[in-house]
Structure 1
Amino acid sequence: MAWSDKSHPHRLLLTKQFPLGLEMLLVFQPVMQAANRIWNSCVWHSRETFKQEDRWPTEAELKAKFKSFAAWKELHSQSAQAVVEEYFEAVSSYRKHRENGHHEMNPPGFKPKNHLRTVTWKRQGFDVEDNTLVLKLSRKKEPIKVALPEGWNVVTLPDGTGVRGIPVEVKVKAVVRRRKVENLVLHVTFDLGVMPVYRTGAVSAYDYNSATFARAASNGQLDLFVCRELLSLVQYRNKILAEFQEKISRCKEGSRRWKRLQAAKVHRLRRLDRRIRQMEHALTKLFAQLDEAEGVAFAVVGDLTSLRRSARTGMKGKKASQKINQMAYERLQSEQRYKNLMRGIETDPWTEKYTSTTCCTCGAYNPGWRKHRGLWVCGRCGLVLQADLNGAANLLKQYLFGTCTGRGLPSAFGEPRVWRWDGRHNRFVQVSSRAA
Structure 2
Amino acid sequence: MAWSSKSHPHRLLLTKQFPLGLEMLALFQPVMLAANKIWNSCVWHSRETYKTEGRWPSETELKAKFRAFAAWKELHSQSAQATVEEYFEAVSSYRKHRNNGHGEMNPPGFKPKNCLRTVTWKRQGFAVENNTLILKLSRTREPIILPVPENWDVITLPDGTRVKGAPVEAKVKAVVRRRRVENLVLHVTFDLGVIPVRTEGLVSAYDYNSALVARTVSNGTQDLFVCRELLALMQYRNKITAEFQAKMSRCREGSRRWKKLLAAKLRALRKLDRRIKQMEHALTKHLAELDAAEGVARAVAGDLKDLRRSSRTGMKNKEASQKINQMPYHRMQAGHKYKSIMRRVHLDARTEKGTSVTCGVCGARNPAWRRKRGLWVCGSCKTTMQADLNGSTSFLKRVLLGDCIGRQLPFALKPPRVWRWDRRLNRFVQVSPRAAA
Render the CA deviation track for 1:18-48: whole Å, top value 9, x for unaligned.
1111111111000000000000000000111
Q: Which residue of 2 aligns with 1:311?
A: 311
Q: Which residue of 1 aligns with 2:160?
A: 160
Which stretch of structure 1 is more off in the superposition, 99-108 or 333-342? 99-108
Rounded to whole Å, the distance in 2 between the matches of 1:403 and 1:330 is: 25
Q: Which residue of 2 aligns with 1:171?
A: 171
Q: What is the DSSP-based 3-state SS (H/G/I as helix, E as strand, rest coil) of the residue aligned with 1:338?
A: helix
Output aligned runs, 1:139-150, within 5 Å. Answer: 139-150=139-150
Instruction: Tell me how far 1:245 sits from its aligned partner.
Output: 1.4
Render the CA deviation track for 1:36-63: whole Å, top value 9, x for unaligned.
0000000000111111111110000000
Rounded to whole Å, the distance in 2 between the matches of 1:143 and 1:253 is: 43
Q: Which residue of 2 aligns with 1:26?
A: 26
Q: Which amino acid aligns with 1:58?
A: S
Instruction: Tell me how far 1:373 sits from its aligned partner.
Output: 4.4
Instruction: Tell me how far 1:434 sits from its aligned partner.
Output: 2.2
1:15 and 2:9 equivalent?
Answer: no
Q: Which residue of 2 aligns with 1:325?
A: 325
Name structure 2 gaps, 5 residues minimum: none
Rounded to whole Å, the distance in 2 between the matches of 1:40 and 1:373 is: 51
Rounded to whole Å, the distance in 2 between the matches of 1:36 and 1:434 is: 55
Q: Which residue of 2 aligns with 1:256?
A: 256
Q: Which residue of 2 aligns with 1:48?
A: 48
Rounded to whole Å, the distance in 1 between the matches of 2:380 and 2:226 is: 28
Q: Which amino acid aligns with 1:423?
A: R
Q: Which residue of 2 aligns with 1:91?
A: 91
Instruction: Tell me how far 1:435 sits from its aligned partner.
Output: 3.8
Rounded to whole Å, the distance in 1 between the matches of 2:147 and 2:306 is: 49
Output aligned runs, 1:143-222, within 5 Å. Answer: 143-222=143-222
Q: Which residue of 2 aligns with 1:352?
A: 352
Rounded to whole Å, the distance in 1 between the matches of 2:131 and 2:234 is: 41
Instruction: Tell me how far 1:164 sits from its aligned partner.
Output: 1.0
- How many pairs align? 436
Q: Which residue of 1 aligns with 2:425?
A: 425
Q: What is the DSSP-based 3-state SS (H/G/I as helix, E as strand, rest coil) of the residue aligned with 2:410?
A: coil
Rounded to whole Å, the distance in 2 between the matches of 1:435 and 1:320 is: 22
Q: Which residue of 2 aligns with 1:302?
A: 302
Instruction: Tell me how far 1:7 sits from its aligned partner.
Output: 1.1
Rounded to whole Å, the distance in 1 between the matches of 2:330 and 2:306 is: 13
Rounded to whole Å, the distance in 1 between the matches of 2:281 and 2:245 is: 29
Rounded to whole Å, the distance in 2 between the matches of 1:392 and 1:197 is: 23
Rounded to whole Å, the distance in 1 between the matches of 2:361 and 2:218 is: 14
TM-score normalized with structure 2 length: 0.99
Q: Which residue of 1 aligns with 2:368?
A: 368
Q: Which residue of 2 aligns with 1:400?
A: 400
Instruction: Tell me how far 1:105 sits from its aligned partner.
Output: 1.0
Instruction: Tell me how far 1:242 sits from its aligned partner.
Output: 1.2
Q: What is the DSSP-based 3-state SS (H/G/I as helix, E as strand, rest coil) of the residue aligned with 2:213?
A: strand
Render the CA deviation track for 1:283-313: whole Å, top value 9, x for unaligned.
0011001000111010000011232221021
Q: What is the DSSP-based 3-state SS (H/G/I as helix, E as strand, rest coil) of the residue aligned with 1:176?
A: strand
Q: Which amino acid aligns with 1:287?
A: L
Q: Which amino acid aligns with 2:37?
A: R
Instruction: Tell me how far 1:426 sits from its aligned partner.
Output: 0.3
1:228 and 2:216 equivalent?
Answer: no
Which stretch of structure 1 is more off in the superposition, 187-196 or 18-27? 18-27
Q: Where has structure 1 moved over 3 Å in runs of 4 or more?
A: none
Render the CA deviation track for 1:233-278: whole Å, top value 9, x for unaligned.
1111111111111112222222211221111111111111111111
Which stretch of structure 1 is more off in the superposition, 303-312 or 352-361? 303-312
Q: What is the DSSP-based 3-state SS (H/G/I as helix, E as strand, rest coil) of the residue aligned with 1:434?
A: helix
Q: Which amino acid aligns with 1:243?
A: E
Q: What is the DSSP-based 3-state SS (H/G/I as helix, E as strand, rest coil) of the residue aligned with 1:313?
A: coil
Rounded to whole Å, the distance in 2 between the matches of 1:177 and 1:349 is: 39
Which stretch of structure 1 is more off in the superposition, 344-353 or 328-337? 344-353
Q: Which residue of 1 aligns with 2:101?
A: 101
Rounded to whole Å, the distance in 1 between the matches of 2:350 and 2:401 is: 12
Rounded to whole Å, the distance in 1 between the matches of 2:358 and 2:172 is: 51
Render the CA deviation track for 1:357-381: whole Å, top value 9, x for unaligned.
0111110000000012410000111
Q: What is the DSSP-based 3-state SS (H/G/I as helix, E as strand, rest coil) of the residue aligned with 1:356?
A: helix
Rounded to whole Å, the distance in 2 between the matches of 1:30 and 1:320 is: 49
Q: Which residue of 1 aligns with 2:415?
A: 415
Q: Percent identity?
A: 74
Q: What is the DSSP-based 3-state SS (H/G/I as helix, E as strand, rest coil) of the residue aligned with 2:344?
A: coil
Rounded to whole Å, the distance in 1 between the matches of 2:59 and 2:210 is: 38
Q: What is the DSSP-based 3-state SS (H/G/I as helix, E as strand, rest coil) of the residue aligned with 1:361?
A: coil
Which stretch of structure 1 is more off in the superposition, 127-136 or 255-264? 255-264
Q: What is the DSSP-based 3-state SS (H/G/I as helix, E as strand, rest coil) of the residue aligned with 1:216?
A: strand
Rounded to whole Å, the distance in 1 between the matches of 2:364 and 2:434 is: 29
Q: What is the DSSP-based 3-state SS (H/G/I as helix, E as strand, rest coil) of the residue aligned with 1:393?
A: helix
Q: Which amino acid aligns with 2:20?
A: L
Rounded to whole Å, the distance in 2 between the matches of 1:321 and 1:245 is: 21
Q: What is the DSSP-based 3-state SS (H/G/I as helix, E as strand, rest coil) of the residue aligned with 1:34?
A: helix
Q: Which residue of 1 aligns with 2:59?
A: 59
Q: Which amino acid aligns with 2:92?
A: S
Rounded to whole Å, the distance in 1 between the matches of 2:183 and 2:262 is: 21
